[in-house]
Amino acid sequence: MEPVKVFYNKKEYLETHTGNKVCRKSLIRGSHNIHLNGKCIISPGVVIRGDLAPVKIGKYTIFKEDVVLRPSYKRAKGKLKYITMQIGEHVLIEEGSIVCASKIGNNVHVGKNCIISHRCVLRDNCKIEDGAILSPDTEVPSFTIYGGKPATYLADMPDSTVFMHTELTQGYYNRFLPLA
Amino acid sequence: MWRATSWNPPYIHLQCGCGKEWGLEDMFFCFPCSKALCPYCVTEEIDSFYCRNCMENMPNTEAFAFKNKCARCFQCPACFSTLQILLNSTRQQKLYHFGCQSCYWDSMSLGLFGNSLNELLMSNQDYFMKDNPLQDQLKILIDTYKEACRNRRKIGVKYLQKETWTFEDLENSVQPKPLINPVQRIEHQSPGFDELLNEDINYNEITSMQQRLSNAGAQPRELNKASAQPIPLLTRRSKRCKYCKKYVVKPETNQSFSNPFKMENLLVYFFPRIYIREIKSNSLILLLINPTAAVAYIRLEGDKVPPSELHLDSYDPVMDLVTSEGSSLDESLIIEREKNTISIEVGKPSNDIWISAFWKFMRGQDVKEFEIKIHIKLA
Amino acid sequence: MSSARVESSRLGGGIDEEAVVIEIGSLYTKCGYSREALPRSIIRNPESLISLTHESSKEDYYPILRDFLQIIYLHKVQKSPKDSATILCEGLMAPRGLIEATVKILLEDLQVPILYIIMSNSLPLYTTGSYTGLLIDAGYFGVDILPIYEGIPIINSFVSADCGGKALLSSYKNILEASNPGHRFSLETVEDIVARLSIIPYGKLRKELQERPTANKIYNFIPLKHNRAISVDFKQRLIPESIFFGEYSQDSSNIAASILRSLQTCDIDTRKQLINSIIVSGGCAMMIGFMERLEEELLDLLHNEPDFSNIKPLADYVQINQTPYPRNLLTWIGASIFGSLPGLDRFSLNLETYQQKGLEDKLGRYYLFGDRPSLQEIYQTQNLPMERMRLSFIRL
């Protein structure tokens, strides 16, 4: 079936000149530390903790409702040091997930209600199933599907999902239109 | 095996030459044969191995020597997630040991710890040499049978046709023969009734089947006796066309390159994606999206579809001007044309529709053409 | 023919190279390389494969096995199917549709160069180093008893009893669902409970249970793949006893009695050697107390039952073989040893032969469901001299 258009209330969203659509109801701390590269969608309820460390987000990323982005930390000489969080392009993070990964690559699909713990590294083109809990320091290789509690390798992704996922995120952005 | 094809109606599937139906996302395209291939029509081969934790690439021979497991990374016996090397420093000494981040299992109780990283890894190697007695016993058995094969060939018929049998010979032939390397019988004392009643069993301390079978040699019954196993390696695989044996998909071994494939001939790049826009009582409106970088032509034939040749533009209007051979012959099917998509209306005889499509497209200087059947199921 | 023989010795499966050894059991599939002591990977069959039966045809098995065999080759054994020979173990009582679909997929779709098909019932004998033994395979499908004497399987004495893991798990499921109302258990959950909690009483425990049959102890826990806690009674831990070692006088299933009945049909001069070398393999043999109870039961029946009075003197020679290998993997390990011995050619099958002749019935249904002729008649119909026939059976 053809994907449908999603409409939003124009008053609720801020649109920047680079095409980012940020909802006013999202809780963004430290906005000077957060860099959005363009064409991102940030839905209501999203929490981004830029006050802890810089957060760099690539283009065409979509954060659905109630996602929490919190940079991870390292223990150095008894003190906590927060490290920069990097998110690549075409990343889709679905409702309710808590993401504390240190690096997320391009074309990643994170499912609903996932918990991605500190210092995790998600490489390009991977998928995390709904409800997965990744333990700290996990490294997810490319073209794999991880799921379960705790998350382990489940299966390999078919090669074409890269293209389909890119189309999914771009298409979602293009169909995210304001109510006239 | 995770496939992208969905079997929940309404769906649109393509029929491969071998007769099986697959979604567009799972299929490949072979250029020399000019044919669309389903996953069963490509043969998969293994190119290289890598560890899912340390991402280290291993060639075939090294992987076989390590039994297709990583040399440095281990997994927790309880939850199968990767083990971290933790430092437990008390005033007397610093101890390195393995620990799991998700279920808090640690290797101190098993005796796997060391004063330095190297010592820790060495202590683990000893632990894994426990397989060797089984392997030695196997070698003895193989040699015994090989020897016996040779002897039987030599003696063979003569043994059966023994001329004179004495009573001692008969007695000897029915006596049980001693076994090679007989294993000592271990007498298990049966637990008493009261002992069993008073025993406090923690269900989670007994291993499940999966935890037992991950360690095939020991198959421990208690979780505190289970040891850390090395992580099995994952593979990078390439696919070849079954008919002409040329590569269809070939992955890149070096992770740092931006494009993960050396060669990627997926059907999504060459055949239009078809979506159902609207289902009316007598007809269907389909949306076709041209993925190629030049003008392409499609001719549809089906039950309630009048044969007509349509053209689809690419997303680049400059390429359209350069490559077009003229517009469609028949514009009656087309409802809407926008950038590289067209919407067409086809008749709906039933909930199960078969349409034959002849697709002609250009890649660089070559013009490729192939036929494929489309199966649309609505309910 | 001669070119095929040269090719087979070059491609392995006998002397030089490692061959891939696959044993598709009823519940678990073991896969690995020949000449190695343990399989690389033991995986549970997909649910759709477990639920198929003897009546299912090749077409039913085909779609499930196509993906499953590809996973085995590319993810578990991690070898391209085209690169080396494969050894496939076929059980005597395995469904015909399974072996037909497997051979078709391996030869036509996965393009295995040479396939060796061997009968799996006699493979555990290779782990002992001798040629004589009474092989008992207690698996999920049932219990198979096959005596082999000096390398020749005594097919007339083959007994296949229905009391295996399948009967155990289904009766366990009914009992648990009755005592825990409102719960529905899957096969995997019941298997997990059996594997962790069940115990077969022997020795002192058996005597004490006969005096005090009731006990009041309940275990509460959350089993695998289940979301609520259930309770299991102490008595329910002892259910396997009634499935495998039921009361002989009440004509219930008893493995020891089946063994002795099979032994009674063997020739008199073979019985002493056979009962001296009892080899037990299979997943059910891994339960706590199974082996000890089996030995006790054999001695009990030999001493006390009038039906077995003619073999009573054999009680002094009862000996169950001890192996250092885990019992549920004995068949696979036997196949691994077998794969490194010379002379595998007569079991080979390649694509051309398969397309011309199809899958031949080596022992097949003729022996098991029709009138079983004696070995003498087999030799005459096969037109082979007796010595050749005997050597060929050595591999069965």
Residues B205 and B132 in one domain: yes
pLDDT at C380: 55
CB–CB of B84/A137 below 8 Å? yes
CATH for C167-199+212-243 is: 3.90.640
d(CA C105, CA B112): 45
Judge: domain C3-124+327-391, CATH 3.40.1390.20: no
d(CA B273, CA A1): 11
- B and C: number of Cβ contacts within 8 A: 163
CATH of the domain at B342: 2.60.40
pLDDT digits (tens, 9 = 90+) for A95-139: 999 999 999 999 999 999 999 999 999 999 999 999 999 999 899
CB–CB of B315/B340 below 8 Å? yes
pLDDT at A94: 93
pLDDT at A134: 93
Residue B92, judged by CB atoms within 10 A of its CB (0-12, 13-18, 19+), counts as exposed
pLDDT digits (tens, 9 = 90+) for C226-249: 888 998 888 888 889 888 888 887
CB distance B216–C70 less than 8 Å? Answer: no
SS3 category, B300? strand
Residues B97 and B225 in one domain: yes
How close C370 comes to chain B (CA, Å)?
31
Residue ranges of chain C that CATH labels 3.30.420.40: 3-124+327-391, 126-163+253-317
Task: Indicate the number of domains in chain B.
Answer: 2
How close B324 comes to chain A (CA, Å)?
26
Using N-to-C axis directions, what is the helix angle for C375-382 and C386-393, rounded to 10°?
Answer: 110
Cα–Cα nearest to C335, from B298, B11, B303, B142? B142
d(CA C82, CA C88): 15
Cis status, amide bond into A150, omega within 30 of 0: yes
Task: Indicate the number of domains in chain A.
Answer: 1
Question: Which value does ipTM take for this structure?
Answer: 0.86
Average pLDDT of chain C is 83
How close C296 comes to chain B (CA, Å)?
12
Mean pLDDT by 10-residue block, N- to C-terminus, for chain B (379 residues)?
A: 86 90 92 90 91 88 87 88 83 81 81 74 62 83 83 54 70 69 74 80 88 88 87 92 91 80 90 87 85 84 74 70 64 76 83 88 85 89
Q: How far from the centroid of its chain's Cα atoms is residue B275's Cα? A: 29
Q: Which amino acid is at B235?
A: T
Which one is the CATH code of C126-163+253-317: 3.30.420.40, 3.40.50.2300, 3.30.870.10, 1.20.1270.10?
Answer: 3.30.420.40
Return the residue matching tokens 């058996």: C206
Closest chain A residue to B287, measured at CA: A2
Q: Is the pLDDT of residue C372 over 50?
A: no
What are the tokens at A4?
A: 């449908």
What are the tokens at C283?
A: 């997943």
pLDDT at B61: 87
The answer to whether position B37 is within a domain reads no
Closest chain C residue to B136, measured at CA: C37
d(CA C104, CA B248): 24
pLDDT digits (tens, 9 = 90+) for A13-49: 888 899 899 999 989 988 899 999 889 999 999 999 9
The answer to whether position A94 is within a domain reads yes
pLDDT at B171: 74
Note whether C385 contacts B: Cβ–Cβ < 8 A.
no
Residues B297 and B353 in one domain: yes
Residues B225 and B77 in one domain: yes
pTM comes to 0.88
Q: Is the pLDDT of residue C124 over 60?
A: yes
pLDDT digits (tens, 9 = 90+) for C6-59: 344 444 444 457 899 999 999 999 999 988 899 999 999 999 999 887 778 888
How close A116 comes to chain B (CA, Å)?
12
The answer to whether position A1 is within a domain reads no
Residues B348 and B275 in one domain: yes
Q: Which residue segment(s) compose the domain that A163 sits in?
A: 6-178
What are the tokens at C154?
A: 């005594």
Q: Which amino acid is at B16?
A: C
Note whether A143 contacts B: Cβ–Cβ < 8 A.
yes
CB distance A2–B277 less than 8 Å? Answer: yes
**Residues above pLDDT 70, as percent of chain C:** 87
Residues B148 and B15 in one domain: no
Cα–Cα nearest to C314, from C349, C266, C359, C384? C266
SS3 category, B7? coil
Residues B276 and B206 in one domain: no
Average pLDDT of chain A is 90
What are the tokens at B146?
A: 């090989």
Closest chain B residue to C130, measured at CA: B179
Note whether A129 contacts B: Cβ–Cβ < 8 A.
no
Q: Which residue segment(s) compose the domain that B334 sits in?
A: 11-27+271-377
> Concatenated DSSP letters for B328-364?
-S--SSEEEEETTEEEEEEE-SSSEEEEEEEEEEEET
Residues B221 and B309 in one domain: no
Residues B369 and B275 in one domain: yes
Residues contacting B52, CB < 8 A, separation 6+:
A139, A141, A144, A153, B231, B233, B234
| Residue numbers in C near B201 (CB within 8 A) | 197, 219
The answer to whether position A10 is within a domain reads yes
Based on its alpha-carbon atoms, the radius of gyration of chain C, rounded to whole angstroms, reads 22
pLDDT at B181: 66
